[in-house]
Amino acid sequence: MRQYDLDLLRYLHVLVEEESVSAAARRMQVSEPAMSRHLAKLRRVFSDPILVQSGRRMTASSFATGILARVQEVVRMADALIETQALADLPIWPLPLPSEPMT
């Protein structure tokens, strides 16, 4: 079974939206070298450049643009699943009354 890194999809999402390693790094609060490493890993995983140089700026590849909606949906569903589990760990309402009065 292959292991997948959900955060890598988050980086893909931000890189494609920002079309800039620097802007994506700022948005994800990581260093530019770290974001460049994520981009390199994404390029290996998908066998696609993801971002390509276009003059003085970068643009998303057609493949990256094409999968963006699906990537966003996977990330949204994973976040909802994690949030559901976090909510399941909350105490059941109404909360039990303390056995001693609070002062």
CATH number, domain of 21, equals: 1.10.10.10
Residue 89 counted as domain residue: no
CB neighbour class for 51 (10 Å; exposed up to 12, middle 13-18, buried from 19): buried
Residue 42 counted as domain residue: yes
Q: Among residues of the chain, what percentage have pLDDT more than 90?
A: 66
Residue 67 counted as domain residue: yes
Q: Residue 96's pLDDT band (boundaries 50, 70, 90)?
A: low
> Residue 59 belongs to what domain range?
6-72
Residue 14 CA to residue 72 CA, distance in Å, equals 10
Bridge partners for 51 per DSSP: 60
Residue 13 counted as domain residue: yes
Q: Residue 18's pLDDT band (boundaries 50, 70, 90)?
A: very high
Sequence-separated (6 or more) residues with CB below 8 Å from residue 24? 11, 14, 15, 17, 18, 35
48 closest CA partner among 23, 24, 12, 4: 12
Residue 26 counted as domain residue: yes
Residue 15 CA to residue 35 CA, distance in Å, equals 9
User: Can you give the pTM of this predicted structure?
Assistant: 0.77
Residue 13 CA to residue 97 CA, distance in Å, equals 45
Residue 98 counted as domain residue: no
Count: domains in the chain: 1
Residue 65 counted as domain residue: yes
Residue 44 counted as domain residue: yes
50 closest CA partner among 4, 17, 3: 17
Predicted pLDDT at 81:
83
